[in-house]
Structure 1
Amino acid sequence: MQLTNKQKQYLKAEAHPLKPVVLLGANGLTEGVLAEIEIALNHHELIKVKLPGDDREMRHAVVDAIVRETQAINVQLIGKTVILYRPSDDKKITLPKA
């Protein structure tokens, strides 16, 4: 699923007041963390995940792995926080038309 710029802007605005629901620790991206991200995406559709470390390349690699494993969409990565979106069956968020 591809998002238009208008849809991404809408999701960024919706995510602005949200607090990170998943925090990656020193162990990095583990099976347990991926399971928590799956649960959060199923429940909320739009979540923030806080990433560890100061290495930008490592954060990008972790985000790519999360997106690949969860089939979520990377809406935005700012600093150590990534915004992820994946529509659920009950469609809690209605995206604007293209």
Structure 2
Amino acid sequence: MELRGKQKRYLRAHANHLQPIFAVGKEGLTDTWLAQLNGALNRRELIKVNILQNADVTTDEVRHFIESQTDIQVVQVIGRVLVLFKVADNKEQRELSAKVKKI
């Protein structure tokens, strides 16, 4: 699902109160990290990822890695924090994506 402007605004508003639950550190970007990120997004649909100061990657590299490897969409980049959205694979867990689709 390609997000429109209103949908992104809605998701940014929902992400405002969230704390980052994933971090990119000195280990960098790995397939295992990406699989865990994908699993968390299947349960929550919207999360924040923090890029730590000791990470050897930039926000643009993280964004490109995530978007090129998966169907996860980067909604917003705030400094070293990325807001990510993905429609859950399980239909029963698609609460947020159902609301976003109606917008």
Find the residue that maps to 2:11 and give its secondary structure: helix
Q: 1:1-98 alignment to 2 at 5 Å?
A: 1-53=1-53, 58-88=58-88, 89-90=90-91, 91-93=94-96, 94-95=99-100, 97-98=102-103
Offset at 1:53? Answer: 4.2
Return the alpha-carbon distance in structure 2 between the equivalents of residues 40 and 17 of structure 1.
17
The structure richer in helix per residue is 2
CA offsets per residue over residues 17-42 of structure 1, 9 Å max, x none? 11111111101111221111111111
Q: Distance in 2 between matches of 1:23 and 1:14?
A: 20
Give the whole-Å Cα distance in 2 for the aligned partners of 1:81 and 1:61.
13
Paired positions, count: 97
CA distance in 1, matches of 2:27, 2:54: 15
Q: 1:10·1:96 contact (CA, 8 Å) conserved in 2?
A: no
Q: Which runs of 5+ in 2 are unaligned?
A: none
- TM-score by length of structure 2 reads 0.83
1:25–1:54 CA distance, 2 compared to 1 (3 A) = closer
Structure 1 residues not aligned, in runs of 5+:
none
Q: Contact conserved, 2:25 with 2:53, CA < 8 A, in 1? A: no
Structure 2 Cα separation of the partners of residues 10 and 54 of structure 1: 32
CA apart distance, 1:65: 0.7
